[in-house]
Amino acid sequence: MREQLALQIDPASQAEVLPEAWQADPLFAARLQAVDVAAYGRSRNHLDGAVTGLSPWISHGFAPVPQVVAWLVRYRGLRARHKLAYEFAWREFFHHVWGQLGDGILESVRPGLAGVRYAPELPASVREARTGIPTVDVAVRTLYHSGYLHNHARMWLAAFVVHYAKVDWRVGADWMLAHLLDGDLAANHLSWQWVAATFSRKPYLFNAENVARHAPPEWQCAGTALDADYATLDALARGSGRMLFGGRGGEPVSEPPPLACPPPALLQAGDGLPPCIEKGRTVVLLHPWHLRPPARKPGGALVLGVVHLPFHRQFPWSAQRWQFVLPRLRRACDRLFVGDATMLALPLAGRRVIAERVRYAGYREVLPALATELRDPPRWLPDPPRLCESFSQFWSRYGPEGRRR
């Protein structure tokens, strides 16, 4: 990839070619083709900036990072030191950490701020977008409405929940994860920990001035409790009190209920029944983190999509995330199974079964039990054998121009 990123654009390769699988998803294709790397570099921190909006497809393995990067190198002139390459590397870093710490990412990686007590529940005023602080209320409404938040808005919301409302980062992380279309346990929970200072050296804080620089008018919070200097907010974050808010917000919104299984409208007769599979037939198993159809399908293979419900009982999803994932999974497959995937052990026994590994609990155990060939998901950057403690260490050693490549 170092070679690819250093590549000079060849005028002969300028005619854009989009892989067939990507063309089949017009929304993804449009977003990819709209990427403007120069504008991204200039504006990505602004809520109206030229961010890509590709994360739902990346998180669900429809468009793996190495393929997206290769396409952007070729057709958009992405370079190794570009901000966008750096952001893709953050994703790879978080997944490296997940690989090293496993379920340890669900607990504080470091102790965090000494002596601070965090509440075990999200206040109703945050959950219902009625804190009276527009930055927070608009973020919550946007999250529920679209399943997407700009990175800066995610940081503000997380910082507000943890440092000003004094809620346990894990509670906030689980809540946000349930509503994001791109919900990714590593990127989400480690980002919350980064904000909380349990995966970084200091708490991430923000104030009204920071919002004023990066957000449109309806997000502004001048004149609220966030209109304070950083020393004051730091003292609040490290102290025993919490910010006073609530009561002045607009109409409360209801949180869309996270669902432990797909809404009935997305299901078809037979989805809950294990399929009958002819002896000798190869099976390719797809799942919610592997939504792309196999590039080279073994002759006559059955492509079987699996939604393993025990996982989703632990980490339920919003209806719109199901709406994003299920039709795409169905489209990539010949058959879909929605249920407890251990029920597939018998129909798959004795067959060649190919699947891609995932680290989500439940899937993590059941896929190796069913598959005879388990493949690693494609990575852009190396996955070092020992834990890289920080992103800068990871980037300098294993980034596209890293010393250890």
Ligand X SMILES: Cc1cc2nc3c(=O)[nH]c(=O)nc-3n(C[C@H](O)[C@H](O)[C@H](O)COP(=O)(O)OP(=O)(O)OC[C@H]3O[C@@H](n4cnc5c(N)ncnc54)[C@H](O)[C@@H]3O)c2cc1C
Residue numbers of the site for ligand X (CB under 6 A)?
44, 51-55, 58-59, 87-88, 90-91, 94, 150-151, 154-155, 158, 177, 180, 182-184, 187-188, 191-192, 195
Q: Which is nearer to ligand X, 200 or 282 (CB)?
A: 200
Classify strands 353-356 and 335-339 as parallel, antiparallel or unpaired. Answer: unpaired
- Distance CA(195)–CA(368), nearest Å, equals 34
- Tell me the C-alpha distance between 54 and 72, whole Å: 12
Q: Which is nearer to ligand X, 323 or 342 (CB)?
A: 323
Q: How far is the CA of 213 from the CAs of 18, 141, 284, in angstroms? A: 36, 21, 49
- Shortest distance in whole angstroms from residue 59 CB to ligand X: 5
Neighbours of 175 (CB within 10 A): 21
What does the angle CA 217 – CA 178 – CA 294 come to, to the nearest 5 degrees? 110
Nearer CB in complex with ligand X: 155/354: 155
Shortest Cβ distance from residue 247 to ligand X (Å)? 26
By beta-carbon proximity to ligand X, the closer residue of 337 and 380 is 380
The single-letter DSSP state of residue 290 is: B
Question: Would you put residue 351 in left (φ > 0), alpha (ψ -120 to 50) or beta?
Answer: beta
Tokens, residue 59 = 């998180």
Q: What is the DSSP string of 336-351?
A: EEEE-GGGGHHHHTTS
Shortest CB 240 distance to ligand X, Å: 24
Are 72 and 78 within 8 A, CB to CB? yes
Strand partners, 119: 167
Q: Which is nearer to ligand X, 150 or 163 (CB)?
A: 150
Q: How far is the CB of 268 from ligand X (least distance, A)?
A: 28
CB of 374 to ligand X, least distance (A): 23
Nearest CB to ligand X, comparing residues 183 and 400: 183
Cβ 250 to ligand X, closest distance in Å? Answer: 24
The whole-angstrom separation of Cα 65 and Cα 379 is 7
Beta strands across the sheet bearing 335-339: 335-339, 302-308, 283-286, 353-356, 373-375
Torsion from C-alpha of 335, 338, 339, 341, nearest 10 degrees: 50
Read off φ and ψ for residue 169, nearest 5 degrees.
-55, -30
Nearer to ligand X among residue 174 and residue 184 (C-beta): 184
Residue with smaller CB distance to ligand X, 38 or 273: 38
Closer CB to ligand X, 1 or 158, in the complex: 158
In angstroms, give the least distance from the CB of 334 to ligand X.
29
- Answer for the pair 336, 330: CB distance below 8 angstroms, yes or no: yes
- Please identify, using beta-carbon distances, which residue of 28 and 337 lies nearer to ligand X: 28
CB of 223 to ligand X, least distance (A): 25
What's the start-to-end Cα distance of the chain, in Å? 10
CB of 181 to ligand X, least distance (A): 9
Q: CA 289, CA 218: separation in Å to the nearest integer?
A: 35
Beta-ladder partners of 261:
none
